[in-house]
Structures are given as structure tokens and as C-alpha cells.
Structure 1
Amino acid sequence: SIIIPAYNEEKKLAPTVNFVLAGLNKNGISDFEILIFNDASTDRTGEVADELAKKYPQIQIVHNHKNMNLGFNFVRGIELAVKEFVGMVPGDNEMDPETLDNVFNALGKSDIVVTYIQNTKVRPWGRRLLSVTYTTIINTAFGFKMRYYNGCCFFKTAMVKKVPVSTHGFAYMMEILVKLLKSGATFVEVPMVNRVREKGATKAFRLKNIISVFKTFLTLFWEVQILRKRIKLE
């Protein structure tokens, strides 16, 4: 199950879907579904999504009436997913084909496939510094040696459905990963090549987002490290 969130991506959505379909075909994957989340787009993204669904029976569309953000769409996608594995590909067509090959080749080798950015220099220095700091804090707090916590991860569907997710903000993927890994889930890391961002800036530096991530981190630390809450994976 591949979740594709899209907000005002009328020009990028179809190329993203074609990119995913080509990757699936190249890797011999025929049993799949694509869940497109039109996140209350104000352009033609919704119409493009509907056209794609008419063309490909494996595509399902969810039209949000208001903008719900990435975390909400991913968690909702997990709830709807019916295939053995579930993961996300952004609707902005920034993922490199080699990355998708790396992910698909790693499926089944562990419970989770975690991507990390290989070509970090395409990102602004401020964002690189924030990412390194964020990763270091989480690794230190929870005893991990992960390279990245905000990548496009793929999970065993039955397993990730058991995770209670408390946030839809920027820390949603970190929360899912920490809860699963501390409960005994296995993972493999694969490199991800990011294409240069063509438009827009990251929202991660906004104060409300930083506060939200900090609150999620503190709550997670209390639950996982102090109360030692775990998920029964089997």
C-alpha cells in the first residue's frame, strides 16, 4: 500500500504516480494499491487524482475537506491499507527512482524499511543542522543509532496498525519509529536521494512546530523510557 499525500500538486501528482507505477513494475510487484490523499488542494489536484483513479483501478482517492497535514494523511492511510506493507511517497515527485528501488528491494528483510538522505548537501545548511541535532537528541534519549527519523519509511502493515499515534505534527514518524523499535521491531536503513526542492521552504523552523515536536518528544520519553510502555507486536 503506497500512500501519496498531495496538496496543490496538480503538475506533480501524475508524474509521481507514473514514477511509482514504473518502480513497482520494474521490481515485479503486481499486488499493490495506491492511496492518494488530496489534502484540500485549491488547484486541480483533486481533478487530476480522480482522472488517475479512473485510469488505474488500484488507485483510491481520499478528498479532505480541509487541510489536515502530512501526519494525519499518513496515519489515515495506515488505517485504510490492506496490503502486506505500507509506506509513503510524497506527491511532489522529489524522490529519486533509485530510492524506490532500494526500498522495494529491502521489503521483507525486516519489519521496517527506513530511508535516510544520502545527498544532504542539496538541503540548506540550517535544515541540515536542525536534522542532525534532532537525530542526535532522539538517538541519545532512546538508545538508538538511527541516521534519520523523517524519511519515507515502509512498515509491515499489521504491525504499524497497532501503534497509537498521538501527533499529526512533524514528529509523527519519529513517534511511530520509536514505539515500534523499543517494542522489538527490526529495521533496515536504505539511502534516499533527494531531488532539489523546486519551490517553497520548510515549515519545520516555525515556532509552533518546534514546540509541538518538543512536546511529543517529552511525552514519548515519559511513556517509553520512564513508564516503559511497549506494544505487543505478535
Structure 2
Amino acid sequence: MTGSLRARWVVVDIEGTLTATSQVHVVLYDYARPRLGPWIDAHPEDERVRRAVADTKAEGGLSADASTAEVVAVLHSWMDADRKAAPLKALQGLIWEQGYARRELISRYFPDAFPALRRWRESGVDLAVFSSGSVAGQIASFSHSTDGDVTGLFEHHFDTVNAGPKREAPSYRAIAAGLGDPRPEEIVFLSDVPAELHAAAEAGWQTVGLARPGEPFADADFAPHRAVESFDEIHIVPVGGGDTDV
């Protein structure tokens, strides 16, 4: 177990940190892929869909009158490249939200994740999420998990739309502002991606890398960040709490 970290906030990534990458790249991606075109055609008046389609055309180099099939081809190419494109994430989030509501999807999380989050929350540490998945998708996932509805654990949700790219320090400063501007060193960020940890550290945050066996970044170089294989190795106490280093 690591020595104790003192924090007011813990901000967690989802993919590779709370849940296996396959939960996103296999289960959720496979669910959304065939539904993108039908969803776009079925919701022409939904401003969220219209904006996502327009942004896809702009970012994908398509004409304004490009067909749904052309838009979907761009979206599929982004999925294949695992590109964290905001319009793709917005559409996926809407589709996943419906899938969870229909009980066609359920999120499976690592068994060490929520027991640790609950311990930290009960000790007085507040929790937030920063994921490339849309806020709508995050909430839908947490509402229908193998641990039940766990949305009550989290005070705030951030994505690449309301915060910014996950590998850039200004995004973490924007999140800190959204958390009420605590001192940067009073925020701990947990992620399986070293580049995200670098950006958070540049913003002054404390960082811990999740090097989970079998995950894409399991053997990555996490230096200079501390790295663990499980949340069971992380001990977080609220700012002002007792000195319980182990």
C-alpha cells in the first residue's frame, strides 16, 4: 500500500481505471456502432444530435450536405482509431443512455473500485469523474452497474466538452475551478494513462497511475508518478485528517 495521500477531492478516470478497457472498446463500442446511423436519422430535430453531426462534418472534412452514411463512415473511423472526438462521444453517450435505460447494457467495474471510493467518500473526501466519455454516458453507466446505482458517490462529472482534452494541463485547471478552486495539491487524480497524469501533475495535482494487469498501459512507464495495480494499494485521507501513513 502507498503512503497516505491527503486530499479534498479525488478525480477518477473510468476506462482502464474503474472498468476494463474491453468494457468500452468491445461492449459499448459494439453496441453503439450499428446504431449511429439510425440514431442520427431518427433524431433530426434533437439539437445535441444536429450539433454532433455538424461538428463531425466539419472535423471530418465533409460538405455541409454530406449524407448520414458519410458521417457514420467518419464516426466509425474515429472509433477504429480510438479518437476521443467530442461529437462521437456525444452520440455514443446518447445511444448508451438509452441502452442502459432499456437494460440492454450494464457496466462491470473492477471489484476493488467502489469499495475504495466509498471508503474515501465516507472519510470526508469528495469524488468527481473525468472521462473522455460524455457526461450523459458517465451517468448512465453509473446508474446501471454491477454495483447498482452508484451515481450518488460523485459530486461532479467532467468530459472533453466541459473540461477539455485529457492530456492537456488547462483541462485540469478548468476542473479545479469547477470544484470550487481548492488548492491544486489537494486534488488527487487516478488514471491508467501516463500522459493524462503528466497533464494533471503540470496543473499541480497529486497523481496515481493504475497499472492494472492485462490492461493496455499495464507495462507503461509511469515515472515520476507512483503506480499501483489496485485501489486497495491507495490510502487517501481528507485534508486535516489524522496521520495514518502505512
- Give the structure-1-normalised TM-score: 0.33
- Which one has the largest radius of gyration? 2
TM-score (norm 2): 0.31
Higher RCO (C-alpha 8 Å, min separation 6): 2
